[in-house]
Chain A
Amino acid sequence: MSPFSALLARDLRLTVREGGGVGLALGFFALVATLVPLGVGPDMVVLAKVGAGILWVGAALAALLSLDRLFQADYEDGSLDLIALSPLSLEGAAAAKMLAHWLATGLPLTLLSPLLSVFFDLPAPATAMLAASLLLGTPAVSAAGAIGASLTLSLRRGGLILPLIVLPLLTPAVIFGTGMVVEVQTGLATGALGFLAAFSLVTVLLSPFVAAMAVRLNLAG
């Protein structure tokens, strides 16, 4: 087992054992999907129009919930020092943590989205496209989130600041992700898929380097 997969496996195991990150995110996602119709009213025509946007925003918020502990837990108990001295580079470690976070939140949220689409009467093609856009876009959420988590790892109340600095960075993901669904609903080709793919790719590729830089600075603090 390589150092990378060792860290990945450990983080996944920790998520399962400590604090139920997966269940928490899914529960939050489902609650958003329940509360919005309660606020907006049960008009299915209206809900079908806003559904994709609500579910995208809900998924992004749900994925951010457990992010603040991504580096913080390892920073506080000294594990991050040992990881920094291990054969795994900090870039590799950040990538492993990002992937673990996505497997524990982005992927399950994507899988839950078709079920929640029912609440908004999304037709089958829109539902499928929403899931596809989440599959493509949630890695960017984990990646941008990892940057935020690395910047706030030394803060006791980092969880409060994290969404404030990460959500603006995620504007393009929400726009293009929802845009993919709008495309199916209106039948107009807009190229949303390409833009979302490009945004995700760039974010996922850059994030480990930025996060590693922030971790290094924080270990020096």
Chain B
Amino acid sequence: MFDWLFRYANPARFMGLSGALLPWLVAATVLTIGTGLYLGFSTPPDYQQGHTVLIMFVHVPAASMATIVYFSLAMASLFSLINRHILADVAARTAAPIGAVFTLLALATGSLWGKPMWGTWWEWDGRMTSTLVQFFLYLGYSALWNAIEDETRAARICAILALVGAVNIPIIKFSVDWWATLHQGESIVSGQVAPVFLAPLLTMMGGYFLLFLMLWLVRIRTMILERRARSLMVGVET
């Protein structure tokens, strides 16, 4: 079923293809994020939030990336378990720190936004809380990776953890939302986004996604080169 994918999964072929793709990806990322920022700064201040609304353009995409990257990580893990392919192992492993940084960015910008809006640096709002739990999932995943010495074993074992986490994330989100409504957290933001903010927000989301793809590709390439260098030093062909 995934034969087409694995024609490109040979590490050598992957290096060639990704090397050709990378400059275009960098250009697209810079362009999209640049456009998004320009559009963002040209929006009028929100009647409720004033200029703080600008934080949303960096916060909301980061928060969605927290989930999207985890989903990508889980997909790579699935391939790692089923096809036992080294490229899938590397892809899963390298996605984790990128996702963790996006999650941290979402938490930090959420906190910066919260201070003027809520008057506190932290509010136990449903979305912020699930993002925090998500951050711990990334942390646990990376900790497990670093703790297991044998790389192949680490890849498979962590893949199981990633999939368990992926199954759990919707349940965690549901439970946290349930908990937030139970305790009647006074939510200032309604779910609605005013139409003027929609265009910059969507552009920024696209930009963040491209940024993720770019960073992911760079990290995968670096790790493959590292492995190659190591096997050259050990003197055994992999």
Q: Do A and B bind each other?
A: yes
**A31 located at the interface, meaning its Cβ lies under 8 Å from any Cβ of chain B in the complex:** no
Q: How far is the CB of A37 from chain B (nearest CB, A)?
A: 22
Contacts known (A169-B164, A179-B179); A217 close to B156, Cβ less than 8 A: yes
CB pair B182 A213 closer than 8 Å: no
CB pair B160 A175 closer than 8 Å: no
**B161 located at the interface, meaning its Cβ lies under 8 Å from any Cβ of chain A in the complex:** yes
Q: Which residues of chain B come closer than 8 Å to A152, judged between CB atoms?
A: 144, 147
B 174-187 binary contact with A (CB < 8 Å = 1; else 0): 11101100100000
- One of B86-94, B103-111, B133-141, B199-207 at the interface: B133-141
Q: How far is the CB of A200 from chain B (nearest CB, A)?
A: 12
Interface centre among A151, A169, A214, A218 (most CB of B within 10 A): A169
Q: Is the interface of B mostly helix, strand, loop or mixed?
A: helix
**B21 located at the interface, meaning its Cβ lies under 8 Å from any Cβ of chain A in the complex:** no
CB pair A176 B160 closer than 8 Å: no
Q: Which residues of chain B come closer than 8 Å to A214, judged between CB atoms?
A: 157, 160
**B49 located at the interface, meaning its Cβ lies under 8 Å from any Cβ of chain A in the complex:** no
Per the bound structure, the CA–CA distance linking A179 and B176 in Å amounts to 11
Per the bound structure, the CA–CA distance linking A218 and B154 in Å amounts to 9
Contacts known (A161-B144, A221-B150); A175 close to B179, Cβ less than 8 A: yes
Per the bound structure, the CA–CA distance linking A195 and B176 in Å amounts to 12
Give the contact-size bracket for chain B.
Answer: 20 to 34
Q: Which of A176, A182, A217 contacts B157 (CB 8 A)?
A: A217
* 8 A Cβ contacts from B60-106 to A: none
Interface centre among B152, B165, B175 (most CB of A within 10 A): B175
Q: Is the interface of A mostly helix, strand, loop or mixed?
A: helix
Q: Which residues of chain B come closer than 8 Å to A157, judged between CB atoms?
A: 147
Q: Which of A199, A213, A220, A221 contacts B171 (CB 8 A)?
A: A199
CB pair B143 A164 closer than 8 Å: yes
Q: Which residues of chain B come closer than 8 Å to A221, judged between CB atoms?
A: 150, 152-153
Per the bound structure, the CA–CA distance linking A167 and B172 in Å amounts to 12
Per the bound structure, the CA–CA distance linking A172 and B173 in Å amounts to 9
CB pair A195 B175 closer than 8 Å: yes
**B222 located at the interface, meaning its Cβ lies under 8 Å from any Cβ of chain A in the complex:** no
CB pair B136 A167 closer than 8 Å: yes
* 8 A Cβ contacts from A28-79 to B: none
**A184 located at the interface, meaning its Cβ lies under 8 Å from any Cβ of chain B in the complex:** no
Q: Which residues of chain B come closer than 8 Å to A190, judged between CB atoms?
A: 178, 182
Q: Which residues of chain B come closer than 8 Å to A172, judged between CB atoms?
A: 168, 171-172, 174-175
CB pair B153 A217 closer than 8 Å: yes
Q: Which residues of chain A come closer than 8 Å to B144, judged between CB atoms?
A: 151-152, 161, 165
**A83 located at the interface, meaning its Cβ lies under 8 Å from any Cβ of chain B in the complex:** no
* 8 A Cβ contacts from A173-209 to B: 175-176, 179, 182, 190, 195, 199, 206
Closest partner residue, chain A, to B135 (CB atom): A168
A 136-176 binary contact with B (CB < 8 Å = 1; else 0): 00000000000100011011011001001101110110011
Q: Which residues of chain B come closer than 8 Å to A195, judged between CB atoms?
A: 175, 178
CB pair A169 B182 closer than 8 Å: no
Q: How far is the CB of A194 from chain B (nearest CB, A)?
A: 11
Q: How far is the CB of B73 from chain A (nearest CB, A)?
A: 14
**B198 located at the interface, meaning its Cβ lies under 8 Å from any Cβ of chain A in the complex:** no
CB pair B172 A168 closer than 8 Å: yes
Per the bound structure, the CA–CA distance linking A217 and B152 in Å amounts to 10
Q: Which of B147, B156, B164 contacts A161 (CB 8 A)?
A: B147
CB pair B175 A175 closer than 8 Å: yes
Name 9 extra pairs, CB < 8 A, besides A161-B143, A182-B182, A206-B167.
Answer: A155-B148, A164-B143, A165-B141, A165-B144, A168-B165, A171-B133, A176-B175, A179-B182, A195-B178
Write the residues of chain B forming the contact surface with A, with a CB cutoff of 8 angstroms: 133, 136-137, 139-141, 143-144, 147-148, 150, 152-153, 156-157, 160-161, 164-165, 167-168, 171-172, 174-176, 178-179, 182
* 7 A–B contacts, CB within 8 A, in A order: A152-B144, A164-B136, A168-B133, A169-B164, A182-B182, A190-B178, A221-B152
